[in-house]
Chains A and B, each alone.
Chain A
Amino acid sequence: MLQDKSDRMNHMNSQYRELGQTFRLSQAALEVGIFTVSELESLTGVGANTIYTFVSQLGEEYIRSEGLPSSGRGRPRKRYKLTEAGLAMLAAQNANVLAAMGRVRTGSTATLQQLLQQIMKLPANERSVLINQVRQSTEQPAAEAATVQYETAGS
């Protein structure tokens, strides 16, 4: 009966899957404010190692950590708290992604691949700005990222 909720796909995860893990982690972290890796794992379905990478990349300006009592085995556990600057940065970052999508999106079910295809149809100056926003805020499969780089360079 015990089933970690990370096994299931929650609503936001399924709807914004194409936006990447960073978007989902940022949104969940914004909502909760203070969290452990296992709590974020449960809310987003994203793997623990990816979450450790996410929090370590944020840096001290945006996130603080507090050690938790250890059970003596495994990686030391920590509770993380977003600073005000961290809340601001993640909210702005996610807003940028959504704004970028709204700029190019014609339907409501575009995948990341479709989004990128639509970005490619924009004038070069608008394209590079949007690509940077999406790239900074989402984790794209390597093949898609490579396509963007190639087509941007060739424009």
Chain B
Amino acid sequence: MRERLDALLLFASVLRPLVVSLSKATDVEGKPRWFNILDILAERIASQVPNLTHVSETTLIWKQFTSDLSIASLKPLAAGVIQSIQRELEKSLAAWNPNFGLDYLVEANGRASRRVAQMEVQKLGRQQAETVPVLLLIEYDPKSEQQHASSVRGTSEIRWRLQPEEYSLWGALIADRVFEHEYFCHLLPVNTHLSAEIREGFLDGVLQFQHSLCTTTGADEALAESWWNYALHRFRDDLWDHFDETLDEDQLKLRNLGQSPKRRGSNYWRLVGTVLDCPEGAAEAQQLKEMLLRL
């Protein structure tokens, strides 16, 4: 299991800093777009990871990827970025250490908890943030039957599952966003009975709206946020397709409420605070849901 995990996270860690360059290259050169290129790699990784026995075999997966005719015929700018990714891959393998993959996830976990803690202080006006990094529990799910990520409040942990699916590369690229969702929508709210409409709808809408607002065209770092927004959207669509989940109408309604700047400013954040601080209890959770649906 460990080699498979390391391979996926190795690809994600060398790709992540170069996705912006790849995107800019394909902006100039046209098709295939950066996300088409990532799709091809995601498909190769998903099909080969179950058979992988050593992390060095990532080079064989990479060769399969670069042998694809769409990749072999890339125009100069995009081909240059692909070469840079290959160099980074080779460098990482040459300096391999057993914690490489785990470090990538731990860093993503740290970024996620810091971002949610920052929201608590800066947006919710709390003196001190309640969010602190929790333990990551990583599991291999070869049949891709379980949730990709989940949280356990009692033991304060986030469970993240390696699944040999195409969405896994997208998920690994935006692991921080996946963890951020777990912190903000599952670990932070006081009431453990909150419905999916509130957690996956309203609260996730608040998170996503903050990301959409933060972006400004021009600066690379800010622009990269929009690519991660895209990657998150792609990841979720593919994940929902895989599990054939139905997107509840009330969930989408509350998601729009969370994304609605009509409730911006003190009222908006007071509303978010009310949801997060709703006292424990099934009846309270039901009342809160009904109240939000009436807004």
Q: Do A34 and B28 touch (CB < 8 A)?
A: no
Stretch in contact with the other chain, from B32-40, B131-139, B154-162: B32-40
Asked if A1 meets B40 with Cβ closer than 8 Å, knowing A11-B247, A108-B249, the reply is yes
A16 contacts across to B, CB distance below 8 A: 247
B28 with A79: CB separation less than 8 A = no
> Which residues in A have their C-beta under 8 angstroms from that of B145?
none
Q: How large is the interface on A (under 10, 10 to 19, 20 to 34, 35 or more residues)?
A: 35 or more
Chain B interface, DSSP helix/strand/loop, else mixed: helix
Known: A1-B70, A11-B241. A68 touches B27 (CB 8 A): yes
Q: Which of these binds chain A: B98-106, B209-217, B281-289? A: B209-217
Are A11 and B237 in touch, CB under 8 angstroms?
Answer: yes
| B245 CB within 8 Å of chain A | yes
- What 1/0 flags go to B172-193 for Cβ under 8 Å of A? 0000000000000000000000
Question: Do the beta carbons of B247 and A15 come within 8 Å of each other?
Answer: yes
Q: In the complex, A102 Cα to B209 Cα: how many Å?
A: 23
Closest-CB distance, A30 to chain B (whole angstroms): 6
Q: Is B13 among interface residues, defined by CB-CB distance under 8 A?
A: no
Asked whether B230 lies within 8 Å of A30 as measured between CB atoms, the reply is: no
**Residues of A contacting B226 in the complex (Cβ-Cβ under 8 angstroms):** 32-35, 81
A64 cross-chain contacts in B, Cβ below 8 A: 217
B-side contacts of A43, CB under 8 Å: 230, 233-234, 237
Question: Pick the contact of A95 from B208, B217, B256 — CB < 8 Å?
Answer: B256
B262–A98 CB distance below 8 A: no
Chain B 18-76 interface residues, beta-carbon cutoff 8 Å to A: 24, 27-33, 35-36, 39-40, 43, 68, 70
Judge if A106 is at the interface, Cβ distance under 8 Å: no
Contact of A2 among B24, B32, B211, B259 (CB under 8 A): B32
With A and B bound together, what is the CA distance between A94 and B27 in angstroms?
30
Whether the Cβ atoms of B30 and A68 lie closer than 8 Å is no
A12 close to B247 (CB less than 8 A): yes
B261 touches A102 (CB 8 A): no
Check A61 for interface membership: any CB of B closer than 8 A: no
**3 nearest A-B pairs in the assembled complex, by CB-CB distance:** A33-B212, A34-B226, A11-B240
